Structure 1
């Protein structure tokens, strides 16, 4: 498709979805204002969600920049949002270094906009990949998940080596039939492998086409099962205790959390969670803005 046809197709898409896009942009403006007023109270988790949002807006702007005056007003709004998000993120990161240095050092890489590299197109879920039966309990807890993530990131100790492979992490993070939150943790594990170029996890010396295909296959399995779980939650009229999970799956990504959890047969209960002004949840806010950024890209560039 030549550039003229691409521009025409994108303009047609934006025009068709203009009411939805306006609603999303309005919601993002309000979310950014909330971020500006609470930045010094957010955890790594919360700020990572806004960094993902910043990357999603930036990707949308790059595609719209070719369209000229037709989208000038909307581009100006998005540019303003990116500037505000970046400025506030830097202030939040500065506060976080002081407030929670250990957790910050472990996961600071996810606070870089470049960490959230967004590929063109969308992964299509496949109902044939949905597990016929899932485990009753989560496959692993928060502490184990964090441990596996920081082994890949190389933040398990000062000047630690990245892409550390352990039998336990490989077994848990690539296990099938896992339910709920385990799926999004497994998905992030694959995203980190790809971002860090950890081909050794699959026994390869370089991130060749075979390694990328393995990653994409796992991501498709996890995303397909996350979508199935969301459909189940929707069919049950969004029970309160499952709304956080729904948003996390909708975001198609995961931001690490510092809260501790108790596992029960039916759900994961948070022992403690940061509640911001107005009763907003630190974590739910993070995944919600990530989901909104996904809607912006989908309605504006797909």
Structure 2
């Protein structure tokens, strides 16, 4: 479908009344989409970049936890669990090839972020909370307020990969000031959230030690996560209100992924799930495929051959079939979160807060 036609279809889909599906039907939709995504990874495991690998590892953590806690309800549910076990095996086999390929393609970057390259690193939420509209910033900066190199440096200090056998959980003043800055938009927000999430998953305590600002005296890591996700919720609501413009789709899905992984259940809206599912390319199984740039990719690949030492950009990589490595990563991770959410027992102790 031409790009204009796709955009029109996506906008019209926002206004089509959502048909309420049963939990089993929703899980079938999610598993079908993830199966196509797994087949895509199987074909592209040598090409996918760091973000792409990490997205599938997040998915693996979610799938393995889902299987472990799968409710023994009926034969349909148990058949879906069996399908999920097969899906995990397929993705495990592809990741076993993708991680060494990543190491070969970009050894320095692989070393810096190696702790993230295991599904065991990614801890899924054991309880749910909700965002708070009262925490939304009164004003937001127009441009991003982080630098990718600084962000990477701050993460390696947390992970202990800033040098060989480096001490982990180091928080410098520039990192703390950047990662606790209020009013940041878009990807800056998600990077700030990921900084605290990765610190928590890496067992870093007292990340805010040394912050002498009186206005932040009672702030905790959880406080920052709630502030960031409350603002990411506002961002997603604005994106949907504006008709899900093409240039906002990637951050829209990324917000669902990271805030869902942080335990904010209100990101798992049924209508948002349908938006994500519609963005998958039925032919190859990826997300964010753009036919118009495939010819441009050939030129980019020639440029890379002429500049072999050019640093591989982590944020994005367009694969040979026109797929977005980053969008595919965040989409499968978000879908894994949706699956785990729909499987959660809906008793008084685990019911998502409204």
**CA distance in 1: counterparts of 2:101 and 2:254, whole angstroms:** 25
**CA distance in 2: counterparts of 1:228 and 1:89, whole angstroms:** 34
Q: Is the 8 A contact 1:139 1:178 kept in 2?
A: yes
Stretches of structure 1 lacking an aligned partner (at least 5 in a row): 1-14, 205-212, 261-269
Residue 3 of structure 2 aligns with which residue? none
1:119 Cα deviation (Å)? 2.1
Q: Is the 8 A contact 1:44 1:108 kept in 2?
A: no
1:161 Cα deviation (Å)? 0.8
SS at match of 1:201: coil
Q: Which moved more, 1:169-178 or 1:120-129?
A: 120-129
User: Does 2:171 align with 1:165?
Assistant: yes
1:53 Cα deviation (Å)? 0.5
Residue 276 of structure 1 aligns with which residue? 319
1:16 Cα deviation (Å)? 3.7
User: Does 2:113 align with 1:107?
Assistant: yes
* Superposed CA offset, 1:206-257 (max 9, x none): xxxxxxx8121111111111111011111111111111111111112699x9
Residue 290 of structure 1 aligns with which residue? 333
Pairing partner for 1:226 from 216, 229, 232: 232
SS at match of 1:64: coil
**CA distance in 2: counterparts of 1:214 and 1:275, whole angstroms:** 38
1:77 Cα deviation (Å)? 0.3
- How do 1:75-94 and structure 2 match up within 5 A? 75-94=81-100
Q: Is the 8 A contact 1:233 1:246 kept in 2?
A: yes
Pairing partner for 1:246 from 252, 255, 258: 252
Q: Which moved more, 1:70-79 or 1:173-182?
A: 70-79
SS at match of 1:252: helix
- How do 1:47-126 and structure 2 match up within 5 A? 47-64=53-70, 66-67=72-73, 69=75, 71-126=77-132
Alignment CA distance shift 1:107-1:276 (3 Å): same
Higher helix share: 1
Q: How many corresponding residue pairs?
A: 268
- How do 1:132-171 and structure 2 match up within 5 A? 132-171=138-177
1:200 Cα deviation (Å)? 3.6
**CA distance in 2: counterparts of 1:97 and 1:237, whole angstroms:** 39
1:62 Cα deviation (Å)? 1.4
**CA distance in 2: counterparts of 1:22 and 1:258, whole angstroms:** 36
Alignment CA distance shift 1:70-1:30 (3 Å): closer
Stretches of structure 2 lacking an aligned partner (at least 5 in a row): 1-20, 211-218, 262-310, 346-354
Q: Is the 8 A contact 2:140 2:184 kept in 1?
A: yes
* Superposed CA offset, 1:2-59 (max 9, x none): xxxxxxxxxxxxx941111110110000000000000110111100000000111111
Alignment CA distance shift 1:187-1:258 (3 Å): farther
**CA distance in 2: counterparts of 1:20 and 1:104, whole angstroms:** 36
Residue 6 of structure 1 aligns with which residue? none
Q: Is the 8 A contact 1:123 1:220 kept in 2?
A: no
- Report the aligned-residue RMSD: 2.2
1:65 Cα deviation (Å)? 5.5
Q: Is the 8 A contact 1:163 1:200 kept in 2?
A: no
